[in-house]
A and B are shown apart, each in its own frame.
Chain A
Amino acid sequence: MTVEEVKLQAAKANGGHGAKDQFPIGMRVLAVDDDPTCLKLLEKLLQHCQYHVTTTGQAATALKLLREKKDQFDLVISDVHMPDMDGFKLLELVGLEMDLPVIMLSANGETQTVMKGITHGACDYLLKPVRIEQLRTIWQHVVRRRSCDARNNGNDNDDSSKKLQVASAEGDNGGGNRNKRTSRRVRDDNGDDGDDSDENSNENGDSSTQKKPRVVWSVELHRKFVASVNQLGIDKAVPKKILDLMNVENITRENVASHLQKYRLYLKRLSVDASRQANLTAAFGGRNPAYVNMGLDAFRQYNAYGRYRPVPTTNHSQPNNLLARMNSPAFGMHGLLPSQPLQIGHTQNNLSTSLGNVGGVNNGNLIRGAHMPLQDTSKCFPTGPSGPFNSFVGESPQFPDLGRCNTTWSTAVSSSNVQELGQKDRIVNGPKLEPLSSFTEASSQIPLLGNEMQSQVASLASNGLPMPFTQEAVPFAYGSSTNSREMLNNNLALSNSGINSSLPNLHIDGSVFERNIDGSVVTRQTLDGSNSGGGGVPPLQDGRIDHQAVNSHLNYNNELMGTSRLQRGLSGGLDDIVVDMFKLDHADNGVPFIDGDWELV
């Protein structure tokens, strides 16, 4: 039917929506159904609603039409069961490529099928026979999609905060409240916490928040991204092509590039559950500097301040603080640290801060803090490439739901970074540069959403755990070196804390060492006053780590630790780390990986 005919019909139809403005009159709908009877009926119904209808009986034709005339349709209605292509598949593709709202149509009203439609991104799910009343209001999906997209792409703190809170709300109950609190804190605590905008802008390559709208990798956006990548093939997925395929406004190639980097790391991390060591090794090689720096800095911070406290970072105070806090928790998580690469660069301050903070936490707190998260995390992080990532994404794009974060992380961590956890413990004794690097690697392997992670970390930090020791804290570690650094810092922080905590109650190891991310229990080492090999290494009076003690402890840890390099790095390497840290303390020399831009807070 031509538009004129449609209008004619509109004039005749007792259209309830007289339409003050033209929309939704003339809304362009593409109807896809292999059943000619239903298709004809649908066409007529839509025409009666004064929409402009195009019909096709084949999904392939529909896709072709959509691709050729990208801007010529506002809405797609598609049957679920079609011979040439599954309706859900079409739904996904349309959502991915064209970002159009898709309504599913089916005679099958089973809950599972409807659920599938919704989870695949359908705006609505209608049952046949379709009544005209149902079709009269489908234009709402177009409007909603438009405003949603605008919100997604033109970020501001409020939006992201809102999203985070929403995400938090969607998260586990346990974490929900915390998340809300966290996100609120993060949002309000501008002085200390990382400013998401800042972080995002950093991620986007901007140094100021005002310049570019922050790109929030929402669930939907990320899903599109993943679909694009899968379509291109992970090996061939280049940012430019992904960007084109995603066809989303307000994101740049750089956004996609950084996100792709994280995603790759995430995939890598997921794929090496069994071969964590290998990954760590690789990571170590690649990320030592970052990690080392972070760790050392953290250590330095710790020593210097003897306490973990949020330190207002100089230029990156917000992110730093956030990161610092996040880092601490991340310690266990390894790469869980949220990572915006840029932020990580700025994280130095954070790390220092974190370490300071960590150090500040008394043994009791530290241990407790460390302990609890570990436990939580052990079950959190989902495994599987798509799992954690997806779950993460789904959980909280911006501010992580702490509960969820934990969940996500622990599982992930446990699955892929079992050793890391062990490392964490070890690190308490004195992180080693080497392990940290691998640690970093591990963390970097944890995918993610930089912004999200930060948020999550922030959330975690604001959870109130003195030391977010838990894996929860680190939502996703980006593969960037900054992540490494964060991890390292965290590790250092943790170790510092552990070491520096007062001897008697320094049972960090109890918490630290007790559980690996996967929940396996490691031998308890009490970091108490005794410098026994089995125990922790009590800090020296001045808060320094007793190298000897640490070393011995590390050695002990080494034995406990598996053969993973990371472990070795952490435990065995703790010696080195300690040495390095000490070196660092004494003089900024010798630390090969220190990039020199660490600042002591």
Chain B
Amino acid sequence: MSAANQLAALIANMFATGLLDDQFQQLQMLQDPSAPNFVSEVVTLFCHDGERIIGELAKLLDKPTVDFDRVDAFVHQLKGSSASVGALKVKNTCIQFREFCQQKSKDGCLKTLETVRINFYELRGKFQTMLQLERQVNGFPPNN
């Protein structure tokens, strides 16, 4: 299968499994010759930023006394960025996460943090594959 086909299949699969929503399509639509790397840039930013936020969340929730306001702020940010790239699953998990923050439930937060982490890394893995495929499609050798 050509890289292009693989890419298309991958993206279709991501939509089908609810990892992505139509916001991602918006991103795709914004990409044009004047900004050929737009999607990959945004996706890369999201992956970096998301990882950072998850790290911060883990730190905050690791404390004996949890500052739920700060936790909430980070979750809110992750929610915003995931919504912006169309990361549906991650976004929904963030919404759940915020509820636990409102309730000030450390257990709930920890549990949801795990879910977020899983969902995020799943998405990130697929994004990385996607970016690689895209590079291939654009004539670049795949990174390893």
Interface of A with B (CB < 8 Å)? 5, 8-9, 12, 34-38, 40-41, 44-45, 48, 79, 81, 106-108, 128-132
Contact = CB atoms under 8 A, between A and B. Distances in A.
Interface stretch (B1-9, B31-39, B109-117, B118-126): B31-39
A81 B30 contact: no
A128 B84 contact: yes
Contacts of B30: 41, 44-45, 48, 132
Interface residues of B, number: 25
Interface in B76-116: 76-77, 79-81, 83-86
Contacts of B77: 34-35, 81, 107
Contacts of A37: 42, 45-46, 49, 81, 84-85
B41 A40 contact: yes
B34 A12 contact: yes
B128 interface: no
Q: Which 5 A-B pairs have the closest CB atoms?
A: A107-B80, A37-B81, A37-B46, A129-B83, A129-B84
A34 B77 CA distance: 9
Contacts, number: 65
Given A37-B85, A41-B42, A128-B83, A107 B34 contact: no
Contacts of B76: 81, 107-108
A36 B41 CA distance: 10
B23 interface: yes
Contacts of A36: 45, 48-49
Nearest to B75: A107
Given A81-B77, A107-B79, A107-B83, A40 B49 contact: no
B38 to A, nearest CB: 6
Given A12-B34, A81-B73, A108-B76, A131 B42 contact: no
A41 B84 CA distance: 7
Given A37-B85, A38-B80, A41-B85, A129 B26 contact: yes
Interface string B14-48: 00000000010011001011110010011001101
Contact of B49 (A35, A106, A130): A35
A108 B75 CA distance: 11
Contacts of B81: 35, 37-38
14 contacts: A35-B49, A35-B77, A36-B48, A37-B81, A38-B81, A41-B27, A41-B42, A44-B30, A79-B80, A81-B76, A81-B77, A107-B77, A129-B23, A131-B26
Given A34-B77, A41-B27, A44-B30, 17 more contacts: A8-B34, A12-B32, A35-B84, A36-B45, A37-B42, A37-B45, A37-B46, A38-B81, A41-B30, A81-B76, A81-B77, A107-B76, A107-B77, A128-B80, A129-B83, A129-B84, A131-B26
A198 B86 CA distance: 59
B86 A129 contact: yes
A470 B26 CA distance: 61
Most buried by A among B26, B49, B79, B80: B80
A131 B29 CA distance: 12
Contacts of B84: 35, 37-38, 41, 128-130
A36 B30 CA distance: 17
A197 B84 CA distance: 51
A131 B21 CA distance: 13
A47 to B, nearest CB: 8
B34 A5 contact: yes
Contacts of A44: 30, 35, 38, 42
Contacts of B35: 44
Contacts of B49: 35-37
